[in-house]
Amino acid sequence: MSGERRVKVLFDETAIAARTEALAREIAAAAPKDLLVVAILKGSFMFAADLLRALHRAGLEPQVEFFHLSSYLDGTVSSGTVRILRDIDSPVRDRDVLVIDDILESGRTLAFAKDLLAARGARRVLICTMLEKPGKRAVPLTADFVGFVCPDAFVVGYGMDVAHYYRELPFIGRVVTEQDAD
């Protein structure tokens, strides 16, 4: 299934790197206090790593945790139910929490994470996503920081996958289907 010839580049490495640095500056400008970054696995791992290094360059010193949440399982369409596969260990009470995810589409996963962290006493829960698909929202949610607005296509690369393929790509692209070739 893997192979770059089947993926059309939407956002290349240079654009991703520049936008990640800009996002870090925007987050630093929000003046977070006692910042805890919570990356949502698995799709955000590349973005989270790059953003954390950029946050350091922007003068922030966050602690880092990981949620493993899932609504997709092995499919390409959200099941509509979010499950916690791995929870965070750190306390969030009276802290600013920055949730990092790969894409804001239906909003279910991020709304779940935001509500959970707020219920646990976070002072402020901010959301940063590499991609946003407007018009796909199933729940009312707005990200505080967005890398790129994404076309309505199934995207892969830069940590995002289809059935665990394509995560390793250094760019974000869309899978080219047989209909595209016609």
Q: What was the pLDDT predicted at 70?
A: 76
In percent, how much of the chain has pLDDT > 90? 77
Distances (CA, A) of 77 to 70, 80, 123: 11, 9, 33
Q: Which CATH number fits domain 18-150: 3.30.450.190, 3.40.50.2020, 3.40.630.30, 3.40.50.970?
A: 3.40.50.2020
* Residue 7, both tokens: 């993926």
Are the C-beta atoms of 115 and 142 separated by less than 8 Å?
Answer: no
For 99-145, what is each residue's pLDDT tens digit? 999 999 999 999 999 999 999 999 999 999 999 998 888 899 999 99
Residues 86-101 have a mean pLDDT of 97
Strands 36-41 and 7-11: unpaired
Confidence bin at 179 (pLDDT 50/70/90): low
- 63: β partners: 36
Domain boundaries along the sequence of the chain:
18-150
For 15-40, what is each residue's pLDDT tens digit? 999 999 999 999 999 999 999 999 99
Identify the DSSP state of 177: P
* More confidently predicted of 71 and 85: 85
Residues 75-100 have a mean pLDDT of 85
Identify the DSSP state of 90: S
Q: What was the pLDDT predicted at 72?
A: 57
* Residue 172, both tokens: 């974000």
In percent, how much of the chain has pLDDT > 70? 89
pTM: 0.89
Confidence bin at 2 (pLDDT 50/70/90): very low
